Amino acid sequence: MPKALISVYDKSGLVEFAGGLVSLGWELLASGGTAKLLLQNNLKVTEVADYTGSPEILGGRVKTLHPAIHGGILARNTPEDFAQLKSLGWAPIDLVVVNLYPFEATITKPDVNLADAIEQIDIGGVALIRAAAKNNDRVTLVCDPKDYPSVLQKLKAGSLDQTVRSHLAIKGFRLTSHYDQAIANYLEGKGAESLTLYPVQSLRYGENPHQSAALLSYTEGGTPLGGQVLHGKELSYNNMLDLDAAWRAVVSFKNNSIVIVKHLSPCGMASADDQLKAYQDALASDPVSAYGGIIAANRIIETATAQAISDLFVECVIAPGFEEEALTILGKKKNLRLVQMPDLEVEPKVEYRSIIRGLLRQEVDFGDKTQENWKVVTVAQPTAAEMASMKFAWTACQHVKSNSIVFAQGEATVGIGGGQPNRVDCVRIAKQRAGDRSVGAVMASDAFFPFPDSVEEAARFGIKAIVQPGGSVRDQESIDLCNQKGISMVFTGYRHFRH
């Protein structure tokens, strides 16, 4: 009769799983609290203390740390190892079901102290995971309750083979690695931060064909951006970069919005009550650059919008959903990737960037949504319409590479300039995109003007209102020039560099 050792903190789904094992002829061996739960549910189980002849000691700190347990797990599939176990009165253990004390959940509590945290450092559970994972040639490790149904199904089908055991073992080693890193970070005063990555898929190549690439996820079983690819070719490395940029931008707007991105640069952003109009306005911002781009919507793609999109060559469309007819229309384009997102969240709330021999981490810039610190610094006061347009442009410019400049009419970009080493060139690029639409537009800048030359250019192009962080030692020169030209200017007090 095969033997399963069960010792878990998180008991969700356990009774059903253990019951399934019993029905398949398995013998259950469990530690104190786990054994009590199984007995309460009328499942036959032997307590670890009875099996080893050693009681739990030190208030439960030592339960499974015994040669009868670890010998049963680590015994190789050889006559010699089995004979030695038998001579000692012990038996092989074939399945180990274990999960760990909630150390990370504990240290995130506001009133936690060091003693509380230390008590949640699991010792026996980690040892069980490592032992079972090491001996996965014979032993199956289950360290995640989400795996109970699939493991039980494979046992019933007789398909729980070495490939499955190896996969579960790797999952166990990842878990203990992450767990130990969280403990080390906490004790070093770095909080709970640790970074564990799970492979999702290999990619055809990276930014260029000579570069190998892969997609990794922060969660086991992750998908591209956490969404679902409904249609089209496999996503490329560049597709996923552009999808990420487009999604971060579009969900920053509260109103019904469309964002179009090409090569990581937004080329059109618009909000409107009507989704089709938002798409048309975003496309009009820079129709040349939109060709072959990525389209993001923060509402379900409607049929009329899908029909309009189908007239343009685009690589991907990402949205929280698609109307049935919209999906049919876009599905006729064989290679068009359609990605459905589960929500409008940007997760995690921190972002990492690779540098030589290291990583940089920072909180995600979610903007200054309250806009409580905005201050009109010029004689000219912006109209209500100009203020609304500046609020839109200010949000839009946060998603353009610095030095970011956005021209907007209403709630739509008409010219975008960014990614240049000086700000005045970005103003000129925005003008080039906008053409005559710069006249009467508002302008947003992600950072202050070190010189008034950008304001001089904006005045020459017909800009009527400017929103920028302020904070330059030459702010007064820009204010004076706006006063001369009759331009209103608002300081936000926030900077939004994006490198």
**Residue for token digits 């029909």?**
307
The answer to whether residue 167 is catalytic is no
Cβ–Cβ under 8 Å, residues 429 and 375:
no
What is the dihedral sign for C-alpha 469, 473, 476, 482?
negative
Residue by residue, DSSP assigns 300-362 as PBPHHHHHHHTTS-EEEEEES-B-HHHHHHHHTSTT-EEEE-SSS---SSEEEEEETTEEEEE
Residue 360 tokens read as 């940089």
Q: Which of 495, 486, 481, 484 is nearest to 444 (CA)?
A: 495
Indicate which residue of 263, 277, 333, 485 is catalytic: 263
Work out the burial of residue 49: count CB atoms within 10 Å of its CB; fewer than 13 is exposed, 13-18 middle, 19 or more buried: middle
DSSP state of 145: G
Using CA atoms, how far residue 170 sits from 143, 161, 218, in Å, is 11, 15, 15
The distance from CA 313 to its chain's CA centroid, rounded to whole angstroms, is 28
Q: Which of 52, 79, 83 is nearest to 66 (CA)?
A: 52
Indicate which residue of 11, 134, 333, 485 is catalytic: 134
Residue 332 tokens read as 């006729």
The distance from CA 129 to its chain's CA centroid, rounded to whole angstroms, is 27
**Residue for token digits 């940029």?**
245
Neighbours of 21 (CB within 10 A): 21
Distance in angstroms (rounded) separating the CA atoms of residues 298 and 295 = 10
Using CA atoms, how far residue 291 sits from 110, 243, 310, 332, 415, in Å, is 50, 15, 12, 18, 16
The answer to whether residue 263 is catalytic is yes
So which residues are the catalytic ones? 134, 263
